[in-house]
Every structure is written in C-alpha cells, then in structure tokens.
Structure 1
Amino acid sequence: MSNSPEYHVPALSRGLQIIEMFNRDKRVLNTQDFAEHLGVSASSTYRIVQTLLDMGYLKKVTRNAYELGPQVVSRGFAFLAGRDLVDIASPYINELRDNASISCHLGIRDGLETIYIYRAQASQRLSVNIPLGSRLPCHTNAMGRVLLQQLSDIELNAMYQTLQLDIYPGPHPQSLPELKKLLKEEWGQGFSSNRSDNATAIAAPITNYLGQTIAAINISGADQIMNNQEQFENAKEQLLATASAISRLAS
C-alpha cells in the first residue's frame, strides 16, 4: 500500500480525525474544538461536519455542539456482533456463575424490551432461569434499566409517551418521572437491582471504548440467598469485575 501524498484525501482524513476526538471524557464537542484539533479555521470544517451529520456519524446537540451519531454506535455494534458478543462474554459469565453459584444472563435492548441472549444457569434447586430469547419490558428488570440509562430525556419521552407504566405492578416504576429518577440513581451507583417473584437480580453495563452501553449482564438469585447483605455485596462486586473484563474486550 502506498503512503504517497498523492493518494491522501485531506477531507476524509479530517472527518476521521473528528470522529476519533470523541472518547469517554469528551462526549460533546463544538466546532471550535474541531478547528483547533485540525489546525484550521472553524469555517473550513463546516462541510466536513455537515457531511458527518448527513451520514449519521455526528448528531447535533446544540447550535455548534455535537456528539457521536447513531451510525458510529450501530457500526461499532455490528463489528462486535461479527465477533459474536456471546462468544466473547460467555466464558466470563460462566466463570461468574461458577464463582458465585448464582445464575447469570446476558441481554441487549430492542426498543422497549430486554432480550436475553445468553444464560449460565446455576445448579441449585432455587436457581433463577430465564429462557433464552425471552423479552421483558426494560423498565421491569435490572438489565433493561441498565440499557436505558444512556438515553436522553428526549429519547425516553419519545419512547414511553404512549406506554402506561402503571399497568405493570410495583415495585416497578409506575410513571415516567419515577422511572427517570430510578435510572439516574442506578446510573450513579454503577449498577441496577430488581426484586420480583421471590428473586433479586443485579445488573451492570457492558460498554465500548466510548463508554456507550452495548449490552448488560446480570446475576440473579433467589431471595433466600440475595437477602443476605454479605452475599449480595459479594455477588455485586464479582458482577462489576466481570462486566469490566468483558467491556475491555469490547473496546
């Protein structure tokens, strides 16, 4: 492959450099940031930024501020899916199940639903077993709420405007403001937890190199086990360590 300058496309290079500027700490950047990084005037970035907007690689936040667009996320997820997310995560989830002796699951979001795409079932009689392919409303389970946490207020409003949350019994959130409050609290603590049908689940995010959530894993056990605070904390710490290990491979 030639490195000759005659084959170099400056506009393409600048567009890719703009995308590469975003990371965990820099999620929103403005036109002046782009210009300073590229060493050009702000006006000279206009066509490049507009092209990235039109193609979905950037998304406008305010008049001159941008975040990565849906194409970056979807392309990144497609690459990860090509490597097979289950193949990447399953050894770690199996090890978590073996160490904690509690069932574990892997899930992704499809609209308002959590889809269970892998399970590692514990052998105990009281183990929790959610069948593969199960779909549950996101707001009613710990993995689903982890998957909702990165959505903006605007996105949540659009998604839940026609859904009556109180048709699902408590302790699930009974309104959108209640759901938003819970999502904020759980995001701050780094995990979600949910109790239903005499079982408790704890969930943590699987993230890519930008810190964007692409999947979630949980550890789910009978209340006879999870009501013990020491066992709950031990399970939570093992879960968080496993989620971090899988996220490093997804980056």
Structure 2
Amino acid sequence: MGAYEEEPDRDTDYRVPALQRGLNIVQMFNASERTLSTNEIADRLGVSVSAIYRIVFTLTEMGYLRKLGKNSYELGPQVLCDGYSYLASRDLVDIAMPHLNALRDRTSLSCHLSIREQTDSLYIYRAFAAQRLSVNIPIGTRIPCHCTAMGRMLLSGLSPTQLDALYQHVRLDDYPPPAPKTLPELHQLLDRDRERGWVLHRSDYSTAIACAVYNHRGEVAAAINLSGPEAVMDSPVAREHYRASLDLCAQAISRELGARLPA
C-alpha cells in the first residue's frame, strides 16, 4: 500500500500562537494608550515578560513597535506605512463608484468624478442619469479647472503659492464668463470656495454642484458633482437638498480613502 497523507481533522487548531500574540500586542495600542510597558503587555496577555520577549524584539526590529525607554514601547512607523500603502493601492474609481451610483439613484441626477492634472479637470467616472435633459460628460474629458465647479474644488486644495506657480504661464482671459479672467480673481473665488466647502456653477441651461474628496493625508484627492438641468435645480430648497446629499457622498468616499473627518 502506497504512502498517503491523512486529511487534516476539521477540529485541528491551525493557529500560530506567536503570530497571534504579536498581532494582539499591536492591537493593544490606541488613541488613549499610546505607550505600554513590557509588564503591561505581558499582564494583558496573561503570560510572563520572558514569554513575549522575542515577539516584542521581532516587532521592534520590523518597525511595528518603537522602543521609548528601557521597557516602554509605542507603535512604530511600519504600522502607518502598511496602512497607507493599502489605502493608496485601492483604486479611486472602485471606491467612489458605488457611492456615486447610489447618489444618482437617490437624486435622479448625473454624477461625475474628476481629478486634477495640472490645470485640467480630468473626468474619470460618471454615473449617468438616464432621463431627458441629463448632463452627460464622457469619461476622459478634460476641462480647464477654473471653468467648472469640480475644477475649482480641485484647485481649492492648493496653497496660494502653489496656485501661483501652476498658473504663472497660463492665460485665463480666453474663457467665457463666469470663468475668472485673472489670477487674483481666481484667488478670490477659491478663498470663498474653501470657506463654503462647495461650488455651484451654471452653464448652458444646466447647473452643477461640486464637493471635494480628501485622502488620508487630508489633501484634495478628487472632486465629485451632481449636475442637471437648470429647471430641476432652480429652487433654493432643491439645491440645498442636492448639496447636502452630495456632501454626505463626498464624506463617505473620503472616509474610505482614509480621511479623518469630524463625526
């Protein structure tokens, strides 16, 4: 009879105790407990200090813990590095898509997602509302940032110095109103946009409202909008309803990107 391997018993415990302890140690740290001693760690695990010595040493060597004193530790930079790498690896469109589709379904208005490339707003996703007079801007469209609601929200993430550097060789007076004609006028618009937190823009019988989306660094990573015919969005009550819905959507996407927003 040939050799064979027995099927593992379903009740077999495949856990790795050392790995489990290591992860438990990392999870002990939080906003209220930023530092812990080896004695405190051992007490919580219900073991001796000698039993966790090699685990703590390994976590420190790998950057998941940082030694502060003789027997005191805090979380190391590798924890943040790994977390941010994971967040950055998630595609922006994949994260935003279900939120924008749901917003489209709730409002019956078209939604778009854009990012900034130099002075252009690049449209990278649309949730198209299939109804008469819907606003439908194709993916891949580029529109100068200072001419659109989403573009202005993208620019609102820049400092005055960064904005000056970006537009130092760009003419603004070639575009029709209500686009700003000068850089100082653009600065003034963006100051108001930052304070308000959203932009409303009217053009060609349509209206768009835009909000910014933030990443884990607190930077403006993208912008989203709700856009529809002027007749639908003409009422101040309707516009406020749409703006509030858009803001909640932007916050939900931002949180999935790792942004820390007020509760």
TM > 0.5: yes
Q: 2:231 matched to 1:216?
A: no
SS at match of 1:3: helix
Q: Report which of the two structures shows the higher radius of gyration computed on alpha carbons.
A: 2
Shift of the alpha carbon at 1:5? 7.3
Which letter does structure 2 place at the counterpart of 1:89?
A
Instruction: Indicate the residue corresponding to 1:91 in structure 2.
Output: 98
Q: 2:202 matched to 1:202?
A: no
Name the structure with the higher helix share: 1
Match of 2:164 among 154, 157, 165: 157
Match of 1:132 among 136, 139, 150: 139
The 1-side partners of 2:86 and 2:119 are apart by 23
Q: 2:223 matched to 1:232?
A: no
Q: How many residues align?
A: 195
Shift of the alpha carbon at 1:163? 1.0
Q: 2:172 matched to 1:119?
A: no
The 2-side partners of 1:151 and 1:243 are apart by 18
What are the residue-to-residue correspondences of 1:59-74 with 2, within 5 Å?
none
The 1-side partners of 2:163 and 2:178 are apart by 20
Shift of the alpha carbon at 1:6? 10
Instruction: Indicate the residue corresponding to 1:100 in structure 2.
Output: 107
Match of 2:89 among 69, 82, 88: 82
8 Å contact kept, 2:206–2:228: yes
Calculate the aligned-residue CA RMSD, in Å. 2.7
Instruction: Indicate the residue corresponding to 2:48 in structure 1.
Output: none
The 1-side partners of 2:59 and 2:235 are apart by 67
Instruction: Indicate the residue corresponding to 1:61 in structure 2.
Output: none
Shift of the alpha carbon at 1:13? 5.5
What are the residue-to-residue correspondences of 1:156-195 with 2, within 5 Å?
156-195=163-202
The 2-side partners of 1:91 and 1:199 are apart by 24
Segments of 5+ residues of structure 1 without an aligned counterpart are 21-71
What is the CA deviation profile of residues 104-158 of structure 1, one whole-angstrom value per residue up to 9, with x for unaligned ones? 0011111111111100011221100000010110111111111111211111111
The 2-side partners of 1:19 and 1:190 are apart by 32
SS at match of 1:242: helix
Which letter does structure 1 place at the counterpart of 2:190?
L
- State the identity %: 46
8 Å contact kept, 2:172–2:181: yes
Segments of 5+ residues of structure 2 without an aligned counterpart are 1-18, 20-54, 68-73, 259-263
SS at match of 1:166: coil
The 2-side partners of 1:224 and 1:6 are apart by 61
